[in-house]
A and B are shown apart, each in its own frame.
Chain A
Amino acid sequence: MDQLIQFSYLLASVSFILGLKFLSSPETAPRGMLLSQGGMFIAVVATLLNYGVVSYGMILSGVIIGAALGAVMATKIKMTDMPQMVALLNGFGGLASALVGAAEFFRSQSNLTAYPMITIALTILIGMVTLTGSLVAFAKLQELMKGAPIIFPFQHGLNFLFFISTLALIGYLAFMPAATPAFWALVAISSLLGILVVIPIGGGDMPVVISLLNSYSGMAAAASGFILNNNVLIISGSLVGSAGIILSQLMCKAMNRSLTNVLFGGFGQVTAAPKTPPVSAGSDGGSKPAVPEAAPEVRSGTPQEAAEFFKKAKSVIIVPGYGMAVAQAQHTVKDLAERLEKQGTEVRYAIHPVAGRMPGHMNVLLAEANVPYDKLIDMDEINDDFEDTDVSLVIGANDVVNPGADTDPESPIYGMPILHVDRSKLVMVLKRSMKPGFAGIENELFYKPNTMMIFGDAKGTVEQMAEALK
């Protein structure tokens, strides 16, 4: 029987590997996920055959409750809120692993040796950090708490102290597994640590944080596999662990920042004083050095004026950002694109890797609005095409199109790869006001002669544009 169970675990592992492999193309991806679901089912059913498993009623009721909650979440969630959903799922995964660790601790406390105790303690540490860290990320994304970083003196010192104490507790427990208070102290400090490491990270850095917590939830599962000597847990946990690591790396690269800088930088706090003057400064433009001499004033236009340019345009690139998600404008954007295509204009979408609040956020939103995925072009592929583009339409994006990242060594985002919208013949920027983005950085794009600002709610503006194109 044990052989059979092990074999089913092997099947499950293979199904997960294939599931991830099939994610390399949108055509094969659904098949891969179906396969992984089958693998998961086999692994769980096989586990029920284990001789140690006797109370089926309890397991079944747990599964029914969990499945009902999971199904409701998965069907109710709006696509714009996907980052919150993923954050929450990360957290639950971490919690589940930590609970498995705690259950094992109390079950075998009387005869625990150092090795299993260490694996349990590590599972608790990673699992609880994942849980509370994800809950803070969730709260920030859901705007239950402010997205701005929370910074206080000696913050890093305090975090370091807490981290060292968790290691000390793990060491202590390795020799004294009977010390239940030490175990609870570990639970408490790990939970606190998870909160403390995420609160100093700003809303715009959420793609990195979510990726990292995704990785942790995998690591927690792998750690619980070490406790139970369970291969499928170790394999799947590590697969997920490396997925999160790759995504965090990609996100960091797309912001030209190191992981350390994201985690400890407190980036996005409202300390950076705007270097360039606000809109009204056109009158005494000469005294403000950061404003290009030739374009001290902002040129703003109405959606109707913009539509006139659209009528003449042969090629349009739409650049969506988090603002599009906030305004829920993806469907109206698609309507506008259809109008343009009907008059013979080529329309494509340029996707910056960190646009939005999680990796791939914009792609999902536009796919939801029925934009075919072959029109969603990654930054590296589309960046050379801006020069030959008549109109670039920037919707709710800011830092990812800031030319200062290329030209201004003083800029906090200097060196970050950007979408070169400023090279197109005309740039239209849809924005609510002249307020800078999350990092408080002024954007010289807004002052360029080939830029036209269109103020207002993105959704309303795009609707009016589409209307004017009728």
Chain B
Amino acid sequence: MLIFSITLFVLATFLGYELISRVPPLLHTPLMSGANAISGITLVGAVLAAGTGEAGISSTLGFLAVIFATINVVGGFMVTSRMLKMFKKGPR
């Protein structure tokens, strides 16, 4: 299981490197906020931690994790599309 996870990690890192090398400097700020939103995928982990139904510190921590991860996802995606909407091509 561990080696499988590590394989995924390494391959995805290389893939990310290839993909992001092609993003022009023009879009580096939306890239950062968009990447930020994507790293909010930790919301999946937060949902698992918050949803166990067990009382106690774990689900409280999970609940907080859900809040912060959602800020990341919603805030990140919204601000990214707000920025991308501003980029317009000139009349040619």
Contacts and interface: CB of A to CB of B under 8 A. Distances in A.
Q: How large is the interface on A (under 10, 10 to 19, 20 to 34, 35 or more residues)?
A: 35 or more
Contacts of A96: 40, 42-43, 46, 65, 68-69, 72
**Could you tell me the dominant secondary structure of chain B's interface residues?**
helix
A29 B69 CA distance: 23
**Could you tell me the dominant secondary structure of chain A's interface residues?**
helix
Interface residues of B, number: 84
Contact of B31 (A16, A90, A104, A360): A360
Contacts of A411: none
Given A92-B72, A93-B42, A239 B32 contact: no
A62 interface: yes
B27 A363 contact: yes
Given A26-B84, A29-B27, A43 B78 contact: no
Contacts of B69: 66, 92-93, 96
A368 B10 CA distance: 37
Interface stretch (A51-59, A300-308, A402-410): A51-59
Interface string A347-369: 00001010000111101100110
B39 to A, nearest CB: 4
Interface in A31-67: 33-34, 36-37, 40, 43-44, 47-48, 50, 52-56, 58-59, 61-63, 65-67
Given A17-B15, A36-B34, A230-B45, 9 more contacts: A20-B19, A20-B38, A37-B77, A40-B41, A40-B73, A48-B51, A58-B50, A93-B39, A240-B16
Interface of A: 9, 12, 16-17, 19-21, 23-27, 29-30, 33-34, 36-37, 40, 43-44, 47-48, 50, 52-56, 58-59, 61-63, 65-67, 69-71, 73-75, 77, 79, 82, 85-86, 89-90, 92-93, 95-97, 99-100, 102-104, 106-107, 115, 210-211, 214, 217-218, 220-222, 224-247, 250, 351, 353, 358-361, 363-364, 367-368, 370, 372-376, 378
